[in-house]
Amino acid sequence: MPEAPEVSRVIAYLRRELTGHQIVRAEITHPKLVGNMYCETFCTELENQHFRRFERLGKYLIFVLDDYDWIAHLRMEGKFLIYDSPETVDQLDPVKDLKHIHARFYLEDGRVLCYKDTRKFGRMSLWPKQENIYELPPLIKIGKDVLDPSLDAAYLAKKAANRKIPLKTFLLDQSVIAGIGNIYADEILFEAGLSPLSVSCNLEPEDFEAIVRATRSIMERAIEAGGTTIRSFSYGSNHTGKYQNKLKVHRKRGKCPECGHQIQRQKVNERTTYFCPQCQKEK
DNA sequence: CCTTAGACCTGGAGGC
DNA sequence: TGCCTCCAGGTCTAAG
C-alpha cells in the first residue's frame, strides 16, 4: 500500500488520536508479525507504555513510547485502525475484517488499536529507545527521507556514482532515498523528464537537480492530497487519498498528457513501469 | 556489481 | 457459477 505520502497520512492520524494514551494490554495472533522477539515478549513489554511521539522515516512508522521505539512497516496492505471498544471489534465482519486483524492493542480509555493486513507482509519490532532514529537497527541503512531538506543533487550524484542500475531502480532503493515506491517513482521520473531506463551513473548534475525538484514537488502535492488510493489505501474509518486523480503516467494506458505519444508500459526490475518515451529522455 | 526469479500472502478482476 | 491466470503503493534472498 503505502509510500511516504500515505505513511505520512497514517502517522498524522495516529498522532492526533493516540498521543498521550496508554496501552494496557496487547494481543498478537500472527506470530510472524513481530520480527525481533517472541510476540509474547513484545506484548508484555508494551503493557503500560504511553504513546509519546509519532515519526516517519521513509515508509517506516516509528512510535516513540516511554521505554521503547516501536517500528512498523506496512509493506503492501498493512493498516492501523482504531475502534471505540473491544465489542466493536468483535462485531466486525468475520471474513472481510476480523480474519485479517492480526494484532490488538487495548488502550486505557477503552479504545482498541488494531493492526489489519490482508497479505501479512507487514512487520513490526520493538527496540530500546534511541536518541537518533537512524540508529535503530531496521533504519541503519536507510537513506535520506524524501522530505529531508538536505537531500540534494550532490548527495544523489555521490550515491549514483558507478551504479549501472536503471534510474527507476535507483529511485526505489531505500538506502538512497527513503519513501519512494512504484507509483511515485513513475510520477517523479515523468515530471523530471527522465526515462526510467536511464543508466543511473550517466546522469548530469542538472538531471539530479531535476530529480530533487520533482521529488519535492510530487511528494508535497501528494501529501497535500492525502496520498493516493488505487486499491486498498485508507486510514481511520475509510478515509482515502485524492492523489490518484492527479497521476500523469502511472497505470495510464492512453496518451501522454504532454505530447500525446502512447504511454509505454514495461517491467523494470520486476516492477511495472509507465513512462512517455518521447518526453522522458534516456541517458 | 547487476539482474532475475522466487518467496512471502491474499483477494480482486477479467477471460472463458 | 466456477475455474484459471494475472496482478498488486514492498522487501529480502539465492543463484547466475
Residues paired with A274 in a beta bridge = A265
Return the nearest residue to B3, CA–C1'. A269
**Terminal Cα-to-Cα distance of chain A (whole angstroms):** 30
Report, in ranges, which bases of strand B sit under 7 Å from a protein C-beta: 1-6, 8-12
CB A62 within 8 A of CB A73: no
Q: Is the per-residue pLDDT at A180 higher than 80? A: yes
Tell me whether residue A111 is one of the annotated catalytic residues. no
Angstrom distance, A119 CA to B3 C1': 26
**Nearest-nucleotide field for A234 (CA, C1'):** C9
- The 10s digit of each residue's pLDDT in A38-68 is 999 999 999 999 999 999 999 999 999 999 9
Closest by CA to A1, choosing from A117, A147, A104, A131, is A117
What is d(CA A73, CA A182) in angstroms, rounded to the nearest whole number?
A: 16
Q: Strand A53-57 and strand A79-83: pairing?
A: unpaired
Report, in ranges, which bases of strand C sit under 7 Å from a protein C-beta: 7-12
Closest by CA to A197, choosing from A134, A266, A133, is A266
Angstrom distance, A95 CA to C2 C1': 20
In the block, residue with C-alpha cell 500515505: A6
- The 10s digit of each residue's pLDDT in A61-98 is 999 999 999 999 999 999 999 999 999 999 999 999 99
